[in-house]
Chain A
Amino acid sequence: MSTTPKRFALLPDEIAVKHLTSGILRGDERPPAAALDQASKELPDEARWETERVRDLLNEAMARFEEDAATAADAWLAPRLHSTLRITRREAAESGLWNHLALRVAPDYVRRRHLAKPTEKKPVPTINAKRFCGPFHTQAFARLWWAAELFRDGFDYRPVVTACKDQDVLNSILRFETVLHRPTAQAIISLISKGAVQGGREINALGKAVNSAGSTIAFEAIAPDSSPDPAPYHDWIAAGDEDFTPYDRLPDGPDDGRTYPDSVAALASLFERLFAEAPVRGREKDKEKEDEEGEGGSTTA
Chain B
Amino acid sequence: MTAEDFGVWLGRQLRRAGLSQAELASELSVTRAAVSAWVTGRAEPRRDKIEAIERLFGLDTGSSASRTEIPDNFETVHWYHRPGHADGGREYGDTAAFAFDGDPAVLTREATQNSLDERLSSDRPVHVRYVLEELEGEHLWDFLEALRWHDLEEHFQAAIEGAQKVGRVLRSGLDELRETNALTLLRIEDYNASGLTGDEYEDGKFAAVLRRQLDSRKSATAGGSYGLGKATLWSTSRFGLVLVNSSLSEPYEGHRRNRLMGRLNLPWHSVNGRSYAGPAWLGREDPNRDGAARSWWGDDETVTRLRLSREGSAPGTSFLIVGAHDATGNAGSLEEFKRSLVSGLAHSFWPSMVSGDSPGEHPPLEATVAIRRNGDVLSEERVNPYEYEPARSRAINAFLNGTTVTEKTNAEDVIATEVPLTVPALRGDKASVSITHKAVLLVTSSSPDAERPNHVVWMRGNRMVLTDRRFYDVPLGTEPFEAILLAGLATQGPTEETEPAERFLRSAEPPEHNDWRPTDDLTATYVRGAATRIKEFRKAVNDRLREVLRPVVATAEETPKVLKDMLNLDPPPPPRSPGHPTVQDIDGEVGADGSWRLRVEVRFPERKDPWEFRPVLRFVTRSGPHPRVAWADLTPVRGCVLAEGDLHRLESDPGARHATFEGVSDVNDHPVAADMAMVEVDLERGRGEER
Question: A: which residues have CB within 8 A of B?
Answer: 175-178, 205, 208-217, 274, 277-279, 281
In the complex, how many residue pairs between chain A and chain B have their CB atoms under 8 Å apart? 62
Q: Contact at B667–A212, with CB atoms within 8 Å? A: no
Q: Contact at A216–B677, with CB atoms within 8 Å? A: yes
Complex partner residue of A274 from B621, B627, B672, CB under 8 angstroms: B672
Query: B671 — nearest CB in chain A belongs to which residue?
Result: A208
Q: Contact at B672–A177, with CB atoms within 8 Å? A: no
Query: A181 — nearest CB in chain B belongs to which residue?
Result: B622
Complex CA gap A277/B674 in Å reads 10
Complex partner residue of A214 from B621, B667, B668, B669, CB under 8 angstroms: B621
Query: A218 — nearest CB in chain B belongs to which residue?
Result: B622
| Contact digits for B616-653, partner A, Cβ 8 Å, 1 yes 0 no | 00011111100100000000000000000000000000
Query: B620 — nearest CB in chain A belongs to which residue?
Result: A215
Asked if A208 meets B678 with Cβ closer than 8 Å, knowing A278-B671, A278-B672, A281-B669, the reply is no
Q: Which residues of A contact B676 (CB under 8 A)?
A: 209, 212-213, 216-217, 274
Q: Which residues of A contact B622 (CB under 8 A)?
A: 176-178, 211, 214-215
B99 at the interface (CB under 8 A from A): no
Query: B676 — nearest CB in chain A belongs to which residue?
Result: A213
Asked if A213 meets B677 with Cβ closer than 8 Å, knowing A177-B622, A278-B672, A281-B669, the reply is yes
| Contact digits for B647-691, partner A, Cβ 8 Å, 1 yes 0 no | 000000000000000000001111111001110000000000000
Complex CA gap A212/B625 in Å reads 10
Q: Contact at A215–B624, with CB atoms within 8 Å? A: no
Q: Contact at B619–A215, with CB atoms within 8 Å? A: yes
- Total interface residues in chain B, CB < 8 Å: 17
Complex CA gap A176/B621 in Å reads 9
Query: B621 — nearest CB in chain A belongs to which residue?
Result: A211
Q: Which residues of B contact A175 (CB under 8 A)?
A: 623-624
Q: Is the interface of B mostly helix, strand, loop or mixed?
A: loop
Q: Which residues of B contact A210 (CB under 8 A)?
A: 672
Complex CA gap A178/B623 in Å reads 8
Complex CA gap A46/B624 in Å reads 38
Complex CA gap A212/B626 in Å reads 8
Question: B: which residues have CB within 8 A of A?
Answer: 619-624, 627, 667-673, 676-678
Complex partner residue of A176 from B623, B670, B678, CB under 8 angstroms: B623
State how many angstroms separate the Cβ of B132 from the closest Cβ of chain A: 49
Query: B667 — nearest CB in chain A belongs to which residue?
Result: A279
Query: A204 — nearest CB in chain B belongs to which residue?
Result: B671
User: Which 9 residue pairs are nearest across A and B when measured between Cβ atoms?
Assistant: A214-B622, A177-B623, A209-B672, A208-B671, A212-B677, A212-B672, A211-B621, A215-B620, A213-B676
Complex CA gap A177/B620 in Å reads 13
Asked if A212 meets B627 with Cβ closer than 8 Å, knowing A274-B673, A278-B672, A279-B670, the reply is yes
Query: B668 — nearest CB in chain A belongs to which residue?
Result: A279
What are 27 A-B pairs with beta-carbon distances under 8 A? A176-B623, A177-B622, A177-B623, A177-B624, A178-B622, A178-B623, A208-B621, A208-B672, A209-B671, A209-B676, A211-B671, A212-B619, A212-B671, A212-B672, A212-B677, A213-B672, A214-B622, A215-B619, A215-B622, A215-B678, A216-B677, A274-B672, A274-B673, A274-B676, A277-B672, A277-B673, A278-B672
Q: Contact at A212–B621, with CB atoms within 8 Å? A: yes
State how many angstroms separate the Cβ of A11 from the closest Cβ of chain B: 24
Q: Contact at A211–B623, with CB atoms within 8 Å? A: yes
Q: A177-B622, A213-B676 are in contact. List 15 more A-B contacts (CB 8 A).
A: A178-B623, A208-B671, A208-B672, A212-B619, A212-B677, A213-B672, A215-B619, A215-B620, A215-B622, A216-B676, A216-B678, A274-B676, A278-B670, A278-B671, A279-B668
